[in-house]
Amino acid sequence: MQDGAGAEGGIQLLLTILADAEEQARQLGELAEDPRSRAEHYRGAARRLQGTLGKAVAVAKAVEAAPGSSRGTDRSDSPRSADESSGGTAAVEAPEGQILCNKRRKGLPRWTAKFRVPDANLEATPDDGFSWRKYGQKDILGAKFPRGYYRCTYRAAQGCPATKQVQRSDTDLCVFDVTYLGEHTCHQKQRHAAAVTAHGRGGSQSPPPPPPSHHEQQDPSMQLVVMGFKDSLKVETEASLLHQDHDCYDHGPASAPAAMPFSFPSVPPFHHHGGEAPDNNPAAAAFSPPGSSYFSAPPHHCPAVAGSYNVYDYEARPPGARMGGAQPSELGEVVSRATGLDYSSLYHHAEAEVDPHLPFPPFGGPSPSHGPYQ
C-alpha cells in the first residue's frame, strides 16, 4: 500500500484538479456569454482558473518527482476485488481503459466529524446535504450502539465512491461520530442541508435536489461558510470555549424534524483561501460554522459534552498512526507552496495511507471514467 500510493494518489489528485479546472473554464465561458458579467467577474474566474491550473502543475511536478512514481504495481490487494464489480471497491476504469485500483476503502481519503443531534431519543440522523444509502450496520466491539454504513446514493448511477460510517457515541446519545471515506464525485447538489433527519426511516437524509434558484449560494453567509473551512480544526475548541455555558435553546418538539445546528462537511476539510470563491462548491455550502445564519438551532436535551453544540472536527490521525510515508504531506506542502492553499493540513487530517486524492469539492467534473459499481 505504500509503494506508489503517493504517486497514484497524486495522479488522482491531479485528475480532480483538472476536472476542477475544466469546470472553471466552463464557467469562464459562460461568463463570456453573459452580457451582464463584468470585468471583475472575468478576473475572478480567470484567477481561479489560473490558481487551479497552478495546482495541477504543482501536483504534476510532485508526482513526477515522487519516488516510485512508475505506478503500475497495482496492488491486487484483495482476491475479492475480482467479484467486486458489484461493490464500491471495485476497480475503476480509467478513460484509457487502464484500471485504477481503488485500494478498497483504505486508500480513500478519510476524515471524521463529530456532531450532535438535538434529541437523543430520536433516531436522528444528520443531514449533511448529500444523499446516502445505508448498506450495512454492525455492532462494534465496545460500543453500545451499532455502526451504520452508508454510501452515496449515486454510487450506482455515477460511481460516486463516497461512504460514511455513523456511530452514536456511547457517552452522549446526542453525539455522533461520522467517518467519511472517499469523496463525492457525483453531481448531486449538496446544499446546506441543515436538517436532521429525525425519522428513523426514509432515513438516509435524502435532501430533495433543490432547485438551484435558492437564496443561498453567494450571499454573505457564504463567507462564513468558507471561514468554517479555514478554521475547521479550531471550531470545536472555540465553540467549546465560547459556548461553554451555552444552553441549548429549545428548538421545538421532538416531533419536528429537529433542525441540525449545522451541517458538516461531506468532503475532506479543505482550506479555501481568500481567492477561491465558494461558488459551485457544494461542500462549502454544506459546511456551516457556528453562528452562521444557516443554523436553525442548537440542540437541546443534551447533557453537555464539551459544552458545544456543534462539534465538527476533523480528526487528525490517531496517536500511533503515522502519516504513511511523507509523500502525502509532502505533496500537500508542494501544492500549498505552489498555490497558497494549505493542502498540507488536509493531508494531516487524512488517513495514513490516504491517497491524497481530492481535497476538492466535487465540482462539476467527476471523471466520467467511473464505471457503475453495481
Partner DNA sequence: AAAATTTGACCTGC
Partner DNA sequence: GCAGGTCAAATTTT
Residues that bind DNA in the complex, under the rule CB under 7 A: 77-81, 83-84, 86-90, 104-106, 131-143, 147-149, 151, 153, 163, 165, 181, 199-204, 206, 373-374
Residue 366 DSSP one-character state: -
CB of 167 to DNA, least distance (A): 8
Output 1 or 31, the one with its CB closest to DNA. 1
> Distance between CA atoms of 219 and 222, rounded to whole angstroms?
6
Cell of 49: 482558473
Output 156 or 316, the one with its CB closest to DNA. 156
Question: What residues have CB less than 8 Å from 373, skipping those under 6 apart?
Answer: 85, 86, 87, 88, 90, 155, 156, 159
CB of 179 to DNA, least distance (A): 7
> Distance between CA atoms of 55 and 49, rounded to whole angstroms?
10
Output 18 or 181, the one with its CB closest to DNA. 181
CB of 352 to DNA, least distance (A): 10
- Cβ neighbours around 247 below 10 Å, total: 11
**323: helix, coil or strand?**
coil
Output 78 or 244, the one with its CB closest to DNA. 78
CB of 49 to DNA, least distance (A): 35
Nearest to 281 by CA among 88, 24, 105, 95: 24
**22: helix, coil or strand?**
helix
Output 149 or 312, the one with its CB closest to DNA. 149
CB of 183 to DNA, least distance (A): 14
Cell of 60: 504534476
